[in-house]
Amino acid sequence: MSGWRDETAADLADAASRLEAAMASISGEPSREHVLSVWMAYLKVEKSVAFIKLDLDEENPGRFVMLKQYAVPDERQALKFALSNLKKGSDSFALGDVHQSLKWLRESRNYLRAFLRAKRLKRARGVGPV
């Protein structure tokens, strides 16, 4: 693998570890530490998506995602969906199928983005510890 591919593989593994750890320890409302860990996972997935898009020379600047379809009332379930897609994307990336990897990683990123947006809105409304 080239440098960016090694870095991307490491980022994806770290993001998966962060999500697994958060899911294992969340009971009730996620703590600030949980949310920060999910932020780090999100950043690593987003960075990976950017690197893959650069490699594929693929960009859709006008493409918007409707986050409502990724909003899951149960936060643990949202993280589970994000992790599942992340693992599929990581596996595809490891096999060299970057097109399929990009698809799965975008799905993972969207679930993480919806989760983080919900946390931000709760905090803005003064609901919850985060």
Print burial letters for 85-109: b (CB count within 10 Å at least 16), e (below 16).
bbbbbbebbeeeebeebbebbbbbb
User: How is residue 118 written in tokens?
Assistant: 């919900």
Q: Token match 């780090």: residue?
A: 40
Q: Per-residue confidence at 60, pLDDT binned at 50, 70, 90?
A: low
Q: What is the pLDDT of residue 129?
A: 54
**Percent share of the chain, pLDDT over 70:** 88
Q: Token match 């593994």: residue?
A: 13
Q: Would you give the distance in Å from CA 16 to the centre of its chain? A: 9
- Residue 61 exposure: Cα atoms within 13 Å on the Cβ side: 1
**How far apart are alpha carbons 16 and 40 in whole angstroms?**
11
**How far apart are alpha carbons 34 and 75 in whole angstroms?**
11
User: pTM for this structure?
Assistant: 0.86
Q: Per-residue confidence at 98, pLDDT binned at 50, 70, 90?
A: very high
SS percent in the chain: helix, strand, coil, step 5: 75, 0, 25
